[in-house]
Chain A
Amino acid sequence: MKGLFVKDLKLMMLQKNFLLLILAIVIGMMIFTDDVIFPLGFLSFIGSLFTVSTVSYDDFDNGNAFLFTLPITRNQYVSEKYFLGLLLECMAWVLATVLGIITTVLKDTLPITDLVQSSLMILPIMIVVQAIMLPFQLKFGGDKGRIAMIGAFGGLAVITLVIVKGAEAIFNIDLVSLLDNLPTVSMGVLIAIAIIIALLMLLVSMKISLSIMNKKEF
Chain B
Amino acid sequence: MLKIEHLKKHYDNFSLDCSLELMSGCVTGLIGQNGAGKSTTFKAILGLISTDGGNITILGKDRKDFTAKDKEELGVVLSDSGFSGYLKIKDIILILQNMYSKFDKSLFIEQVQKFQLPMNKQIKEFSTGMKAKLKVLVAISHNAKLLILDEPTAGLDVIARDELLEMLREFLEKDEERSILISSHISSDLESLCDDLYMIHDGKIILHEDTDVLLSDYALLKVDAEQYSKLDKQFILRSKKETYGYSCLTNQKQYYMENYPKIAIEKGTIDEVITMMIRGTEQ
A binds B: yes
Q: Which of B48, B74, B95 contacts A217 (CB 8 A)?
A: B48
How far apart are the CA atoms of A66 and B76 in the complex, in Å?
8
- Is the Cβ of A63 less than 8 Å from the Cβ of B82? yes
Q: Which of B50, B71, B85 contacts A61 (CB 8 A)?
A: B85
Q: Which of B46, B80, B100 contacts A62 (CB 8 A)?
A: B80
How far apart are the CA atoms of A69 and B78 in the complex, in Å?
9
Interface residues of A in 59-116 (CB under 8 A from B): 60-66, 68-73, 76
**A218-B43 CB under 8 A given contacts A68-B48, A71-B72:** yes
How many A-B contacts at CB < 8 Å in the complex?
Answer: 87
Q: Name the distance in Å between A157's Cβ and chain B's nearest Cβ.
A: 33
Most buried by B among A60, A62, A65, A218: A65
- Is the Cβ of B80 less than 8 Å from the Cβ of A7? no
Q: Name the distance in Å between B105's Cβ and chain A's nearest Cβ.
A: 14
Assess whether B83 is interfacial by the CB under 8 Å rule: yes
Task: Classify chain A's interface size.
Answer: 20 to 34
Q: Which of A10, A64, A72, A217 contacts B99 (CB 8 A)?
A: A72
- Is the Cβ of A69 less than 8 Å from the Cβ of B76? yes
- Is the Cβ of B84 less than 8 Å from the Cβ of A60? yes
Assess whether A189 is interfacial by the CB under 8 Å rule: no
- Is the Cβ of A71 less than 8 Å from the Cβ of B85? no
When distances are taken between beta carbons in the complex, the residues of chain A under 8 Å from B50 are 215, 217
Q: Name the distance in Å between B37's Cβ and chain A's nearest Cβ.
A: 15
- Is the Cβ of B47 less than 8 Å from the Cβ of A63? no
For B99, the closest partner residue in chain A by CB is A3
Q: Name the distance in Å between A107's Cβ and chain B's nearest Cβ.
A: 40
Q: Which of A2, A60, A71, A217 contacts B86 (CB 8 A)?
A: A60
Assess whether A57 is interfacial by the CB under 8 Å rule: yes
* A contact patch SS: helix
- Is the Cβ of A57 less than 8 Å from the Cβ of B94? no
Q: Which of A2, A69, A215 contacts B46 (CB 8 A)?
A: A69
Assess whether B91 is interfacial by the CB under 8 Å rule: yes
Q: Which of B71, B80, B82, B84 contacts A71 (CB 8 A)?
A: B71
- Is the Cβ of A57 less than 8 Å from the Cβ of B74? no
- Is the Cβ of B43 less than 8 Å from the Cβ of A2? no
Assess whether B98 is interfacial by the CB under 8 Å rule: yes
**A64-B98 CB under 8 A given contacts A69-B48, A73-B68, A217-B48:** no
Most buried by B among A3, A58, A62: A3
- Is the Cβ of B68 less than 8 Å from the Cβ of A76? yes
When distances are taken between beta carbons in the complex, the residues of chain A under 8 Å from B85 are 60-61, 63
How far apart are the CA atoms of A133 and B159 in the complex, in Å?
47
Most buried by A among B46, B48, B71, B100: B48
- Is the Cβ of A11 less than 8 Å from the Cβ of B48? no
Assess whether B257 is interfacial by the CB under 8 Å rule: no
Assess whether B243 is interfacial by the CB under 8 Å rule: no
- Is the Cβ of A65 less than 8 Å from the Cβ of B48? yes
When distances are taken between beta carbons in the complex, the residues of chain B under 8 Å from A69 are 46, 48, 71, 74, 76, 78, 148
When distances are taken between beta carbons in the complex, the residues of chain B under 8 Å from A176 are none
How far apart are the CA atoms of A64 and B80 in the complex, in Å?
10
How far apart are the CA atoms of A3 and B142 in the complex, in Å?
14
- Is the Cβ of A57 less than 8 Å from the Cβ of B48? no
Q: Name the distance in Å between B73's Cβ and chain A's nearest Cβ.
A: 9
How far apart are the CA atoms of A218 and B46 in the complex, in Å?
10
Assess whether A170 is interfacial by the CB under 8 Å rule: no
18 other A-B residue contacts (CB within 8 Å) besides A10-B94, A217-B48 = A2-B99, A3-B96, A7-B84, A57-B86, A61-B82, A61-B84, A61-B124, A63-B84, A63-B85, A65-B81, A66-B76, A66-B83, A68-B46, A70-B71, A71-B72, A72-B68, A76-B68, A218-B81
15 pairs of residues in contact across A and B, judged by CB atoms under 8 Å: A3-B96, A6-B94, A7-B91, A61-B82, A65-B78, A66-B76, A66-B81, A69-B74, A71-B70, A71-B71, A71-B99, A72-B68, A73-B67, A217-B43, A217-B48
Top-7 shortest CB links A-B: A3-B99, A65-B81, A3-B98, A69-B76, A66-B81, A71-B71, A10-B91
